[in-house]
C-alpha cells in the first residue's frame, strides 16, 4: 500500500488535510483505528454525552492520579472513530482570540499571527448567523465546515445574557468575529440538526475525489530510514504491514497519541526512550512535554420554574426527543444545548478574556447524569490560560499500551486564585435581577462554601477537564530545544515528517480547540502544496480601558 501522503488519524486536522491534498490531486491514505461514525449517538447533537463515554468510539484514556485534585484519575476522551474527536466532542466552535495567535508568533511560531490564520478560518467556515447578529465580513461563507447557532428558545438563555449586562459586562454578537469579550450566542459545528464533524465536512468529500483512501488499522510506529520518514507500520487484521509514503507522513493522532507515536518511532527525549529500549533517531526533549488543558467547574443553581431540560430527563422524555430527531432532525436532539456563553476578563490589567462560560438550562454532569435536585441550570466556567504544565510519556515500548498521561493540574499557585475568582464572578452573575423569577438555592458549590479553604476543597473535589489537551509536540523555531515542529509543522531533525493537530499549539487558545485544530490541518495542506492565503491586516476589539477595569 502506497500513497504520496500518509496521514495518521481522521480527526479534526487529519480529515481537513486529507481533503485539501486530495482536492489538489495528491494521492492520500488516511489511517484510522476507529470504525464507523454512523448512528444516532454520534450524529444526534443532543446525545453528546454518550459517545465520549463509549469505548467503541473512544480510546478510553485516563490520567495518572492528579495530586492536586485529591489523586483523582480524570477521563481523557479522544475519538477512536471516523472524524476523531470531532465525532465525540461537545461541538462548540471557537476560533480562539487574536492575541492567542500573536503569542504563538512571539514564542517562535513565525507566520502564525492572527493575520496569518484568519484567512484559513474563513476558508474552512460556512457560517450561519441564524438571526442572532454578527458581521459576515469576519466569517467564511462557503467552506466545508458548517457553523451554526441554536434556536435559543429557553428563557434561561436570555436571562443569562441579561444578567451579564446587569452585572456590568457587555454583549458580543459574535465572539468569533471582531469582538470575543462579552455575553452572547455560542456557535456549534451542527448543520440541519446533525453533528457536522470533520468526517462529514472533509473526510467523505475527500474519499469522493478518488484520490483518498481510508485504511482501518492501528498505527504502531513511523518507519524512518536514513533520517527520512518513508511509511507507517500498522497492525491490520492482526498482521503487521507497512503503508509507504512517497512524499511525507503526517501525524494527526491527537495531543495524546501523536507524541506517543513519535516516541515509539525513536523521536523524543533520548534518556526516556533509552529507558524503554527504543533506539533514538532524533533527540527532541519537547516530545510529550508542555501538556495543557482547560479545567472547569459546574456552578449549579436550582430553578423554581419547571422550564429546564430536566422535564425530558426520563425514559419517556428521552424517547420523545430521540424519535423527533430521528424522523425530522429537529427538536431538542438537534442542538447540543450549549446555546449561550461568555468570555470575560478576570481582573483589571488582563488584556483579553481569560475566563470562558458555557451556559446550560439544566443541572447535569458531563456524563449525562442529572443532579438529584431536579430542575436547575448551570454555568461551566474555567480559566483559559493555566500556567500548569504536564506531560505524556510512554509506559513501555509496546504500542498497544496506553501512554502515561499526567496533566499536573492545579500545580501553579495562580490556578487556585483564578478558580476562586471564577466562582465569585459566576455567583455574582446568578444573583442578578434577570434570574429573580427562576433562582432557587445554589446546588453547587452550595451557600455554605465561602472561605478560600472551603472553595479550594470544592475545586479539588469537583474540577473537571473540558477535554482540550494540547501542546505536546510544540511548534517553535528550529533553535528552540523544546520545539518539536518548525513553523511549517515539519518535525525538527527528520525529513518527510510533519505533525498537524492540537499537539503543535505552543500555548492553549481561548475556548474549545476543535476549530483551531481544523485550521491547523488547513494550513498544513498549504505548507505541503506550497500555497498560501494572503495575510489579512486587521485588528480585533480590545477593551479600551482594560488596564484599569475588569468589565
90 is in an annotated binding site: yes
Q: What span, in angstroms and rounded, lies between the C-alpha atoms of 117 and 95?
A: 10
Burial 412-423 (b: 16+ CB within 10 A, else e): eeebbebbebbb
Cβ atoms of 282 and 266 within 8 Å: the answer is: yes
- Per DSSP, the three-state class of 292 is strand
Residue among 358, 375, 468, 543 flagged as catalytic: 468
Active-site residue 543, yes or no? Answer: no
Q: 441 Cβ partners below 8 Å, 6+ apart?
A: 301, 302, 447
> What is the grid cell recorded at 238?
492482526
Q: What span, in angstroms and rounded, lies between the C-alpha atoms of 296 and 373?
A: 21
> What is the grid cell recorded at 180?
470575543
Q: 210 Cβ partners below 8 Å, 6+ apart?
A: none
| Distance of alpha carbon 401 from the chain centroid | 24
- Per DSSP, the three-state class of 165 is helix
92 is in an annotated binding site: yes
- Per DSSP, the three-state class of 309 is helix
Cβ atoms of 102 and 542 within 8 Å: the answer is: no
314 is in an annotated binding site: no
Cβ atoms of 329 and 321 within 8 Å: the answer is: no
94 is in an annotated binding site: no
Q: What span, in angstroms and rounded, lies between the C-alpha atoms of 120 and 236?
A: 35
In this structure, what DSSP letter does residue 293 have?
-
The number of C-alpha atoms within 13 Å of 179 and in the hemisphere containing its C-beta is: 18
89 is in an annotated binding site: yes
Q: 98 Cβ partners below 8 Å, 6+ apart?
A: 114, 118, 352, 539, 540
Q: 384 Cβ partners below 8 Å, 6+ apart?
A: 294, 353, 354, 355, 356, 508, 510, 511
Cβ atoms of 356 and 343 within 8 Å: the answer is: yes
Q: What share of the chain is helix, strand, coil (3-state, %, to 5)?
A: 30, 25, 45
The catalytic residue positions are 468
Q: Which residues are annotated as a binding site?
A: 81, 89-92
Q: Which residues are annotated as a binding site for FAD?
A: 81, 89-92
Amino acid at each position: 500500500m502506497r500513497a504520496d501522503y500518509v496521514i495518521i488519524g481522521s480527526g479534526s486536522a487529519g480529515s481537513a488535510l486529507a481533503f485539501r491534498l486530495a482536492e489538489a490531486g495528491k494521492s492520500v491514505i488516511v489511517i484510522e483505528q476507529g470504525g464507523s461514525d454512523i448512528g444516532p449517538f454520534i450524529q444526534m447533537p443532543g446525545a453528546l454525552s454518550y459517545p465520549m463515554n463509549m469505548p467503541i468510539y473512544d480510546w478510553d484514556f485516563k490520567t495518572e492520579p492528579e495530586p492536586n485534585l485529591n489523586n483523582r484519575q480524570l477521563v481523557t476522551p479522544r475519538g477512536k472513530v471516523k472524524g476523531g474527536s470531532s465525532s465525540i466532542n461537545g461541538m462548540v466552535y471557537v476560533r480562539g482570540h487574536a492575541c492567542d495567535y500573536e503569542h504563538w508568533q512571539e514564542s517562535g511560531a513565525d507566520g502564525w499571527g492572527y493575520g496569518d490564520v484568519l484567512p484559513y478560518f474563513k476558508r474552512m467556515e460556512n457560517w450561519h448567523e441564524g438571526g442572532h447578529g454578527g458581521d459576515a465580513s469576519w466569517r467564511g461563507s462557503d467552506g466545508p465546515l458548517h457553523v451554526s447557532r441554536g434556536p435559543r428558545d429557553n428563557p434561561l438563555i436570555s436571562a443569562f445574557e441579561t444578567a451579564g449586562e446587569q452585572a456590568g459586562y457587555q454583549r458580543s454578537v459574535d465572539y468569533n468575529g471582531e469582538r470575543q469579550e462579552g455575553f452572547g450566542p455560542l456557535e456549534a459545528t451542527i448543520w440541519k440538526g446533525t453533528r457536522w464533524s470533520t468526517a462529514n465536512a472533509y473526510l467523505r468529500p475527500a474519499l469522493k475525489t478518488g484520490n483518498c483512501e481510508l485504511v482501518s488499522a492501528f498505527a504502531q510506529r513511523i518507519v524512518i530510514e536514513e533520517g527520512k520518514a518513508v511509511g507507517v507500520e500498522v497492525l491490520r487484521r492482526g498482521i503487521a504491514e507497512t503503508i509507504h509514503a512517497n512524499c511525507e507522513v503526517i501525524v494527526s493522532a491527537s495531543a495524546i497519541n501523536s507524541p506517543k507515536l513519535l516516541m515509539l518511532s525513536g523521536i523524543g527525549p533520548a534518556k526516556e526512550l533509552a529507558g524503554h529500549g527504543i533506539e533514538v533517531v532524533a533527540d527532541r526533549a519537547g516530545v510529550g512535554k508542555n501538556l495543557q488543558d482547560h479545567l472547569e467547574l459546574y456552578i449549579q443553581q436550582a430553578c423554581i420554574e419547571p422550564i429546564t431540560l430536566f422535564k425530558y430527563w426520563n425514559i419517556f422524555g428521552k424517547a420523545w426527543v430521540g424519535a423527533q430527531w430521528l424522523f425530522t432532525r429537529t427538536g431538542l436532539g438537534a442542538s447540543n444545548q450549549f446555546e449561550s456563553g461568555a468570555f470575560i476578563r478576570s481582573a483589571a490589567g488582563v488584556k483579553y478574556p481569560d475566563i470562558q462560560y458555557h451556559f446550560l438550562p439544566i443541572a447535569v454532569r458531563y456524563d449525562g447524569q442529572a443532579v438529584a435536585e431536579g430542575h436547575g441550570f448551570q454555568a461551566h466556567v474555567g480559566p483559559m490560560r493555566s500556567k500548569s504544565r504536564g506531560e505524556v510519556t510512554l509506559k513501555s515500548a509496546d504500542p498497544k499500551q496506553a501512554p502515561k498521561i499526567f496533566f499536573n493540574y492545579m500545580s501553579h499557585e495562580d490556578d487556585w486564585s483564578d478558580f476562586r475568582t471564577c466562582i465569585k464572578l459566576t455567583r455574582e452573575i446568578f444573583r442578578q435581577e434577570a434570574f429573580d423569577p427562576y433562582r432557587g438555592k445554589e446546588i453547587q458549590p452550595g451557600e455554605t462554601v465561602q472561605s478560600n479553604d472551603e472553595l479550594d476543597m470544592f475545586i479539588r473535589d469537583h474540577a473537571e477537564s473540558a477535554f482540550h489537551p494540547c501542546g505536546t509536540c510544540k511548534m517553535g523555531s528550529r533553535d528552540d530545544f523544546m520545539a518539536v515542529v518548525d513553523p511549517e509543522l515539519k518535525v525538527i531533525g527528520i525529513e518527510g515528517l510533519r505533525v498537524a493537530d492540537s499537539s503543535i499549539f505552543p500555548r492553549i487558545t481561548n475556548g474549545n480547540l476543535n476549530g483551531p485544530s481544523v485550521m491547523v490541518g488547513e494550513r498544513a495542506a498549504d505548507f505541503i502544496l506550497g500555497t498560501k492565503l494572503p495575510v489579512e491586516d486587521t485588528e480585533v476589539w480590545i477593551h479600551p480601558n482594560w488596564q484599569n477595569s475588569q468589565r
